[in-house]
Structure 1
């Protein structure tokens, strides 16, 4: 049996540390897990004006969530909250009214920050917004403090402690996805 996990990288920066964490988490996923990025960088700013006729990029975004057995939403911590690009993506996922893509979807939160807290404050706010949309937000959360020593040359996490935390997190996501 295999499961599909969608992964939203909440930073659209070309040098995103959240993307680096995503790549390292993939390396620590259990067997039978397929992880695919759900792109958000091309989503326009959400407006109800689109509700009558969603642009194809938004339809594709919603379909990618629907086609995933579980979703991980990763975010940097900006100004003590989560990124605007993630909020915009959630707004697209939640519309038109009554068609929330995260409804009943097992969803996990990952954060990455250059601050020692690893973005845990942003993770809490993100979880609350996802729960509002009836996502089944997992208690398991990973918050990565990114410094010059966090990644190995192969892109994996450098320490056994962080690899172990990543394996535990990914195993929990896979279990919630039905593996």
Structure 2
């Protein structure tokens, strides 16, 4: 049965390494039977509690996309040893108003890439803490801290042979996690 997955990339740059990684992941043969929708987190205003009762259209679209999805794929870069502000802003919008979080109960996975040797390990750790507080079931294993190298993902979204099996297995584990969480 196809799974509908919301993809949140924590970088606004169209050709960001993390956007390329996300595109590569969703174009793997293991992912073809499922549907993926990228959230436009760049369109969101900075979070303000004053907007909780009458949110801007971009916030309504994000909340609806997440609500209508079966699962969430977070693909994050690492900025100053943590998650980017734009990603945290999106999470804050989806978690409010208090008691109406769209994140709660959505099976999710966290992955990311960086040119550094530890990939996005610290950003992923911070993101996991935030998501745990929001009652987001997270795939704990396998972990994936990807060091970006030129050619990791080709323009046609093909993942380099040296990383393809690892990332295909990671995606398969995510699909299994989602199905297990849904009772399927």
The reply to whether TM is greater than 0.5 is yes
Cα separation, 1, equivalents of 2:20 and 2:151:
13
Task: Write out per-residue CA displacement over residues 6-27 of structure 1, whole angstroms, 9 at most, x where no aligned residue.
Answer: 1101101233111000111012
Query: How far is the alpha carbon of 1:153 from its aligned partner?
Result: 5.0
The gaps in structure 2 that reach 5 residues or longer are: none
Which residue pairs with 2:50 in the alignment? 49
Hey, which of these two has a bigger chunk of helix by percent? 2
Find out whether 1:4 has 2:9 as its counterpart.
Answer: no
Task: Write out per-residue CA displacement over residues 59-99 of structure 1, whole angstroms, 9 at most, x where no aligned residue.
Answer: 11011111111101111100011111110000001000001
Q: Which runs of 4+ in 1 moved over 6 A?
A: none
Find out whether 1:98 has 2:90 as its counterpart.
Answer: no
Which residue pairs with 1:157 in the alignment? 159
Cα separation, 1, equivalents of 2:134 and 2:23:
27
CA contact 1:5–1:177 (8 Å) conserved in 2: no
Show the 5 A alignment for 1:102-121. Answer: 102-121=103-122
Cα separation, 2, equivalents of 1:92 and 1:154:
33
Query: How far is the alpha carbon of 1:114 from its aligned partner?
Result: 1.0
Query: How far is the alpha carbon of 1:129 from its aligned partner?
Result: 0.5
CA 1:100–1:57: 2 relative to 1, 3 Å: same
Which residue pairs with 1:134 in the alignment? 135
Which is worse superposed, 145-154 or 31-40? 145-154
CA RMSD of aligned residues (A): 1.5
Cα separation, 1, equivalents of 2:70 and 2:121:
25
Task: Figure out how many residues of one structure are paired with residues of the other and give that number.
Answer: 178
CA contact 1:33–1:174 (8 Å) conserved in 2: no
CA contact 2:25–2:31 (8 Å) conserved in 1: no
Cα separation, 1, equivalents of 2:147 and 2:159:
11
Cα separation, 2, equivalents of 1:66 and 1:177:
15
TM-score (norm 2): 0.91
Cα separation, 2, equivalents of 1:63 and 1:13:
24
CA 1:153–1:11: 2 relative to 1, 3 Å: closer
